[in-house]
Structures are given as C-alpha cells and as structure tokens.
Amino acid sequence: MRDAFVAEWMKSFSGKLWLIMVLVGSLFSVLGAYGFATAGDKALAEGRTTEAAVSHDLLQAPLSMLVFTAALGAALVTREFSAGSITRSVLLAGGRDRLFTAKTLAVAALGALFGTATVVLSAVCAVVFMSSKGHTLVWDQQSVLTLIGLFVCSIAASLWGAAMGWVIRHQVGAMILVLLLGTTLEHLVITMVPGVGRFLFFEAMSGLSHDTTVHGLLPAPAAGGVILAWIVVTVLVGRRLFTSRDVT
C-alpha cells in the first residue's frame, strides 16, 4: 500500500494542472482579499465597522482556493479514466481497492499541502492589505479559528472532489460540475433558499471557516458534521461504483 500511495502522490504533480489550479486559486484569493480590504477601509472611515470585522473578512478571503482544490481532486482521480489507462493503474496497484485507497489518500495529502499554502496566503494577504490601508490586523480567537477552518476545509475539499471523480469518472465533466457548484450554483441556492443552501457542501465549508460575508450559514460544529456526511456518502458511493462496475 505504501508503494501505491507514493506512486499516486508522485503522479499528482505530473503535468501542470496542479500548478494552474494553485495560480488561479491564488489569484482569486488575492483579488478577493484586496476587495475586502478596500471595502473595509471605506467602512472604517465611515465608522460602520471595526478593524476586527475587517480582519476576519480578509482572513477568509482565500475560501475561493477551496473550490480549485476540490476541482483538482476530481481531476486527479478522473485523469486515468479519460486517458484510458485506469485498467493499467489497477493492475499496477494490485487491485481496485488498493488503487482507490491509495489515490484517495494521496489526494487528501495534497489537500493538506494546499491547506497549508492557503493558510499562509490568507495571513500574508491580510497583513499586507491591512497595513497598506493604514490599519492593524486583529488576531483574536475567531481569526485563529478561521485559519484552522481553512486548513481543515482544504483537506475536506480535496476528499470530496476526489469522491466526485470516482462517481463521475470523466475529467472535464467532474471539474466543470465541481467548479460550477463552488462558484455559482450553491451560492444561488443559499441566496434563494437559505434553509436548503446552508446544508450544501461548499456553503457548509464557509460555515466551518467562519465566513461572515454570507448570511444563514450553519455554525461551525454543525457545518463540520454536514461536511463529514457529504464526504462519507460520496466516498462510499464512489467506492461502490468503482469496485462493482467495469473500470474502462
């Protein structure tokens, strides 16, 4: 199993897809942080908010990185289906169960790596943009919980993305669906039907990361439970489909 995991981990960095996801996600995160800093500076000048509130908004700006982390997880699982090499991978790994476990764990490890990068990016952007506006970043309990939430959600996003890949088994289709859910569809649902939207995967991650820009989110403990349920169900469905259907 160790050899299979190492092989899948190394394959995660083959090609430029992972780098593209990092760069695009970072760009969205930086732009989002700058937007929060600009709006927060104006609100502070008008006395409508506090430095603590602006700090919290800035720290959760890299939430957009989680969408690209999930899309990468889906892409890494489905890549061999689309390339027609999945049968070879099964044989080299020693069976479907071993490949499923190794590939899923490798994607989760990649999510932890991305999570670390996301936390660093969040802190750096918050400090730089607050300082550029003449303000001081406030480090309090919610600030710390936001960063912890971002790290945990990065792992969760990669796992769920991988699980969606096992279910869909088509690289372009899986990536498009994950990106649409994370950037548009779920936000529309929580805007129109908050009671339903708050239980969707990406909106639950916003709750776990203490996102203060979206109303109606679940509190962090409940959001964590919803995220876990989504991952468990999707992984089980994906494993069932992979081990019981023709892999080609």
pLDDT at 88: 86
pLDDT at 218: 92
Please enumerate in sequence order all residues whose Cβ is within 8 A of that of 86, keeping only pairs 6 or more positions apart, or say none.
80, 247, 248
Closest CA to 31 of 61, 67, 66, 1: 61
pLDDT at 104: 93
pLDDT at 74: 95
pLDDT at 247: 66
pLDDT at 240: 93
Counting every residue, how long is the chain? Answer: 248
Please enumerate in sequence order all residues whose Cβ is within 8 A of that of 138, keeping only pairs 6 or more positions apart, or say none.
51, 52, 55, 56
Alpha-carbon distances, residue 193 vs 143, 179, 189, 235, 245 (angstroms): 29, 20, 5, 27, 36
pLDDT one digit per residue (tens) for the chain, 248 residues: 778 888 888 888 888 899 999 999 999 999 999 999 999 889 998 888 899 999 999 999 888 899 999 999 999 999 888 877 888 888 877 888 898 999 999 999 999 999 999 999 999 999 999 999 888 899 999 999 999 999 999 999 999 999 999 999 999 999 999 999 998 998 899 889 988 999 999 999 999 988 877 888 999 999 999 999 999 999 999 999 988 877 66
* Whole-prediction pTM: 0.91
| Distance of alpha carbon 244 from alpha carbon 222, whole angstroms | 33
pLDDT at 244: 84
